[in-house]
Structure 1
Amino acid sequence: MTEYRWLWPSALAADPAGPLSARRSMRDWVVDTLCFLLGFGFTAAATIDLLQPNPGMTQQWVGTPVWLVVADGVLSAIAGIALWWRRRLLTPLAFYLLLLAFFSVASGITLLIVVFTGAVHRRFRWVAMFVMAVVAANAVFAYLRPGTGAGFWSTFGWGTVMVVMACLWGMLVRARRQLINSWRERAERAEAEQQLRVAQARVLERTRIAREMHDVLAHRISLLSLHAGALEFRPDAPAAEIAGAAAIVRESAHQALQDLRAVIGVLREGQSEENRPPERPQPTLSALPALADESRSAGIRVRLNMATEPDTVPLVTGRAAYRIIQESLTNARKHAPAAAVSVAVGGAPGKGLTIEIRNPLAVTVPAMPIPGTGMGLIGLTERASLAGGRLSHGIDGDEFVVTAWLPWTE
């Protein structure tokens, strides 16, 4: 297939109908063949007719010198052949036809095709200057070669009307192509934005799940570590105590596996919203007594002071508060396993929910400390911020304190 190897940079950059293709498409082959047949065919037919003693379609130019008819035919034939490459040679071809327009009859259809092509592939300024130049050349042609039985104004008027009609038709095609291109770009942009939103939603969902995995599994596994450690360091404990600790280990492991299975189920790819199983209800402040009992069963002394009714706290605030307390208890088990932890929760609608977790600093480092990621407090701060609250932590005397405030609307 013919390639457009010599694209003019200025024409390519200024093409309002979009960049020219590197290769001819099937549509281009059909259009180019039709334009070539019209332009070159009219040139050949007009030249042969003018050379006849009694011309038919060109009879209004009877008496034209033979040398002028032959010259007009040869020069117009060159322009007709050049129509095959009119897209890449548009500017030189337009200038060449402008010179022929002063005296040529045989290049009329070729000139109209170039005007149309220019209106499609060039900016308005280029098209306007070219059309005005063609109209001026048409005025000279009407003065030099007025048709027999037709005056200057008739010849000039018909020529101008045809040029303007070709220009308007080309501008209409250009506007339609621009509109289609804008629709296509808008659809592609909307699709890209939708894909970006989907990707962002996936990242946010996975981040939320990772946070839940950290909070839940860290709590469960820390309990497992404490009970397993007790069994390891007290092999001579009574059988009932060993059986109770083993039962707690088994139950904690079972719950950890359930939590892990739920998280992995959500992370599976290709699972639609309709087929995704419903998530389990997230714990709120109502589950704090059970959380404290779990910690006490692991040997952690927890003092829970609830100064507000858990059921009156909004669900979002209650879930965030539960996770903050859960992670704080997990950290206390990791870094100060023998210390007593006090948890105080209070507040009222309109004033907010306040949380304070205190535990003495560890005097000795555990022989086998529970490993951690070191991101727990950072995650707590982010969780409180996402809930619209704030969280602070630090050492107060000989205690480590975590303080949080969460909004509680009326």
Structure 2
Amino acid sequence: MNGPTTAHAPPPRQPLRARLTDATLIAIALALALISFQIQTNETPQLPTALLTADRLTGLLGCIALWWRRKYPVQIGIALAAASVYSETVSGAAIVALFTVTLHGSIRATAAVAAISVTALSTYQLLWPDHLAPPLTVFIIIVLGHAATVAWGLTIRNRRALVTSLRERAAAAEVEAQLRAERSEREARQSIAREMHDVLGHRLSLLSVHAGALAYARTAPPDDVGRAAEVVRENAHRALQDLRDVIGVLRAPVGELPLPAVPDVLELVEEARASGTEVELQDDAGLTTGERTIPEVQGRTIYRMVQESLTNARKHAPGAPVTVRISGRPDDVVVAELTNMRPATTPQYPQGSGTGLRGLDERTRLVNGTLDHGPTDRGGWRVRLRLPWPT
């Protein structure tokens, strides 16, 4: 059995504009051939009849051959230039062919075709000189005509190359702009995910701790149950409010709604203490009290670090004392460190997904800082944030 045959697609057709250009150049070459024919007819014949017939037939075939000048520019250019040594009527077609080689061929091919054409026409003038002009004048006219043709072709060629380059640059710029937009969208999504995790994770961890306490201590006094239920209700309300704030920041123009800063760390500490976590705050830099200020981005990063670390401490080290230290000075660095002791009881969530720390590490790298975290020698856990402190 014969194998399947593959149908070859036909070559693409030339655009209408290109075909019109070809037809125009062929018409110009025919007009020049007719002028040469008329001059030969009016003058006293110098050439044998057979040579005149070959001259005119070559001129006609040369004009027809120009229809394929785009496909075989160098071959047609060399053939017509060489034919100019005996055919005067083909000289117009040879000039058109030289122009085509200049547009589509290499510089070496252009120089070769131009040299052959000048040599052939000069030889024709030496064999059958024109009595109306001196040979030197005719030679200068031939050289200048060929130089003008080559210069015209190079000008159009360079212009086309420039237009093509500009189009490629525009296409590349469009692709680059699309990539930048996709990257910005991806970064915006990551930023939204970090904000949602930081804000809701903190509140929901408080809810989980107190809801677990209510479920465990069912025989506790009514007052303790009521306080725990009040904490659950209050943090549920704050979680909803924080969610509204995050959505509001996304909808509102940039900078319209306030974002957390270092002084808001005091509120985090108070919330943790109210939930039963022993927290010690050591602020040697004076940022939480307002004695010194730090840029908003660095301040918000410190706040998110303390928030995430307190959340993790409640989840993975319930009941363990926590120490928050903030130190540093302007024009140097600021260091925020949170350390918790070994948990007294088995944590409800012994392992986490690490999403919060990864998001915090991304925040830190955006402000050229470093984040370190790991176990301590006493079985606890430490998170250390180091940021530049510009003034």
Shorter chain as denominator, the TM-score bin is 0.7 to 0.9
Q: Residue 223 of structure 1 is aligned with which of 206, 209, 216?
A: 206
Evaluate the alpha carbon distance shift between residue 206 and residue 279 of structure 1 in structure 2; reply closer, same or farther with a 3 A threshold.
farther
Q: Which runs of 5+ in 1 are unaligned?
A: 6-21
Residue 352 of structure 1 contacts residue 407 of structure 1 at CA under 8 Å; is this kept in 2? Answer: yes
Aligned to 2:286: 309
Q: Partner of 1:149: helix, strand, or coil?
A: coil
Change (3 A) 1:74 1:335: same
Residue 377 (str. 1) matches residue 361 (str. 2): no
Residues 256 and 123 of structure 1, relative CA distance in 2, 3 Å threshold: farther
Where 2:376 maps in the other structure, the secondary structure is: strand
Aligned to 1:94: 77
SS of structure 1 residue aligned to 2:389 = coil
Measured against aligned partners, the alpha-carbon deviations of 1:132-177 in whole angstroms (never above 9, x if no partner) come to 2211112111111222433433433333322222111111111221
Residue 304 of structure 2 aligns with an amino acid whose one-letter code is: R
Distance 1:161 1:97 in 2: 19
Work out whether residues 129 and 135 of structure 2, in 8 Å CA contact, stay in contact via their aligned partners in 1. Answer: yes
Give the equivalent residue in structure 1 for 2:20: 30
Measure, in 2, the Cα distance between the counterparts of 1:347 and 1:226: 33
Following TM superposition, by how much is the alpha carbon of 1:323 offset from its aligned partner in structure 2, in angstroms?
1.2
Distance 1:304 1:206, change over 3 A: same
Q: In the alignment, is the contact (CA less than 8 A) between 2:81 and 2:120 conserved in 1? A: yes
Contact preservation (8 Å) 1:341, 1:358: yes
Contact 1:103 1:145 in 2 (8 A): no
Pair 182,36 (structure 1): closer, same or farther in 2 beyond 3 Å: same
Are 2:346 and 1:365 aligned? yes
Per-residue deviation, 1:297: 2.6
Task: For 2:218 and 2:353, locate their aligned partners in 1 and report how far apart those are by CA, in whole Å.
Answer: 30
1:386 to 366, 369, 376: 366
Three-state SS of the structure 2 residue aligned to 1:304 is strand
Report what 2:5 is aligned to: none
Q: 94, 97, 103: which one pairs with 1:114?
A: 97
Q: Which moved more, 1:375-384 or 1:80-89?
A: 375-384
Separation in structure 1 between the aligned mates of residue 325 and residue 13 of structure 2, nearest angstrom: 76
Any conservation in 1 of the 2:330–2:389 contact (CA below 8 Å)? yes
State the AA in 1 paired with 2:179: L
1:184 aligns with 2:164: no
Aligned pair in 2 of structure 1 residues 409, 91: CA closer, same or farther (>3 Å)? closer
Alpha-carbon distance change, 121 to 72 in structure 1, aligned in 2, over 3 angstroms: same
Q: Does 1:136 align with 2:116?
A: no
Deviation at 1:236, TM superposition (A): 4.4
Distance 1:374 1:381 in 2: 11
SS at match of 1:407: strand
Q: Which moves more between the two structures, 155-164 or 82-91?
A: 155-164
Counterpart of 2:182 in structure 1 is 199
Aligned counterpart, 1:11: none
Residues 266, 107 of structure 1: alpha-carbon distance in 2 compared, 3 angstrom cutoff: farther
Aligned residues: 378
Matching residue within 37, 41, 63 for 1:80: 63
SS of 2:339's equivalent in the other structure is: strand
- The one-letter code sitting in structure 2 at the alignment partner of 1:349 is P
- 1:233-282 per-position Cα deviation (integer Å, ceiling 9, x unaligned): 23444555444434433443343344445556777xxx8xxx74656322
Alignment partners' CA distance in 2, 1:340 and 1:140: 106
Alignment correspondent of 2:270: 293
Q: Is the 8 A contact 2:73 2:104 kept in 1?
A: no
Give yes or no for contact 2:63–2:90 (8 Å, CA) kept in 1: yes
**Is 2:327 the partner of 1:356?**
no
1:192 to partner: Cα distance: 3.0
- What percentage of residue pairs aligned between the two structures are identical? 36
Distance 1:144 1:45 in 2: 20
